[in-house]
Amino acid sequence: MFLTVCLNPTLQKTLRFSSVTLNVVNRAVGHRLDVSGKGINVTRVLTQLGKKAVHLTQLGGRQRPLFLSLCEQDGLSVDWVESGSEIRFCYTMLTENDGAVTELVEESEPVDAGTEEVLLKKFDDLLSLRSQHSTPHCLIVSGKNAAGFSDIVIPEMVRKAKERGLKIILDIRGCDLINSLKYEPDIIKPNLEEFIATYKIQPTKDLLIDFTQKHKCGVILTNGSRNILAASENNFFEINVPAVKAVNSIGCGDAFTAGFAAAMFPVEENDGVNFREAITEGIRCGALNAGLLRPGVIC
C-alpha cells in the first residue's frame, strides 16, 4: 500500500475561457470542481493505475463534507484529522485562444493548536496497522504544509517511516526537505525551481552526483515540459520530455510522481523497474495528465 501525505488540502475550480480581457466581465465557456492538492493528485493517479493508496491529511470547516464526497466519487481512500481550518480554493484559468494555463492560489488558514500531535498519532496508527488499511510499503509526501504546522512534522514522519523500512519519496522543498534528508529518503523530487530556491545553487551533473552520495538518495528535478535532471548513485541523466498538446498542465508533476512510484516501488519488490525506466513511466503519466481537462488524472 502507498501512503500519501499532503497537509494542505485543496478544492480546485477549473474555468475555461475563449479569451480573457482585463477590467471587463469575462464569462467562462465551461467549468468544473475537483478535489485536489498535490497529495490527492498523487493518490488519484495511483488509484487509476490500479494501486492501493491511502491519503493522510487535515480537514476542517464548512467544505469538509464536499471534499470527502468528491474523494468518494473518485474512489479515494482518505484518513484525516480535524484541524478547524477551512479548506482552501485554488483556481485554474484556461484560455483557448493562446493555450495559457493560469493558476490562482489561496493561502491556507492556520490549523488549530494540537492538530500536529493528533496527526502524528494517526500516522503512527497507519504505520502500525491500527487502522482499517493494509500495511504501507511506500510513503510519498508532497507539497507545502498549511499554516500552523511546525518544521518538524514532515521530518518526523520521514524518520518514523524509515525506521519501519518503508520506501520514501519526497516532493517537498525548503526546510521540510533539508530537515528530512538526514533520515535518508529514497528519492527526492522537487522541481528545478524549488531545488534552486532551497539550496541557492544551480544544479550540475557533478553537484547532483555528489548530492546523491552525501544524502544516499536519488534526485529527480522536473522542469515542466523541459528536460528532467536526475541522479542516482554514480549515474546522472538528462532526460527529454516529449512534446504533447497540453489541455491543462495542473497536476502533471503529481502524475509523474505517482507513475514513478508505482513503477519503482511496487508492492512486490521483484516487479520494480530501474530508476531510468521508472522516470519514463513518470513522464508517460505526466503527459497523459497534460492532455486532460481534470487536474491530477491519467484517464
Q: Where are the domains of the chain?
A: 2-290
What pLDDT shows up at residue 127?
A: 92
pLDDT of amino acid 122: 96
Q: Please give the pLDDT value at position 245.
A: 87
Q: Are 137 and 166 in contact (CB under 8 A)?
A: yes
Angle formed by the axes of helices 153-163 and 115-127, nearest 10°: 20
Q: Residue 197 and residue 144: Cα distance in Å, rounded?
A: 14
Whole-angstrom Cα distance, residue 87 to residue 67? 8
pLDDT score for 261: 97
Check residue 233 and give its pLDDT.
Answer: 84
pLDDT at 225: 86
The DSSP 8-state label assigned to residue 7 in this structure reads S
* The listed CATH number (3.30.420.40, 3.40.1190.20, 3.30.700.30, 3.40.1170.60) that belongs to domain 2-290: 3.40.1190.20
- Mapped onto helix, strand or coil, the DSSP state of residue 62 is coil
C-alpha–C-alpha distance, residues 107 and 121, integer Å:
26
Per-residue pLDDT of the chain (299 residues; tens, 9 = 90+): 999 999 999 999 999 999 999 999 999 999 999 999 999 999 999 999 999 999 999 999 999 999 999 999 999 999 999 999 999 999 999 999 888 999 999 999 999 999 999 999 999 999 987 566 678 999 999 999 999 999 999 999 999 999 999 999 999 999 999 999 999 999 999 999 999 999 999 999 999 999 999 999 999 999 988 999 999 988 999 999 998 888 999 999 999 999 999 999 998 766 778 999 999 999 999 999 999 999 999 99
Cα–Cα dist 260/253, whole Å: 10
Calpha distance 296→81 (Å, rounded): 23
**Cβ–Cβ under 8 Å, residues 250 and 224:** no
User: What's the pLDDT at 131?
Assistant: 61
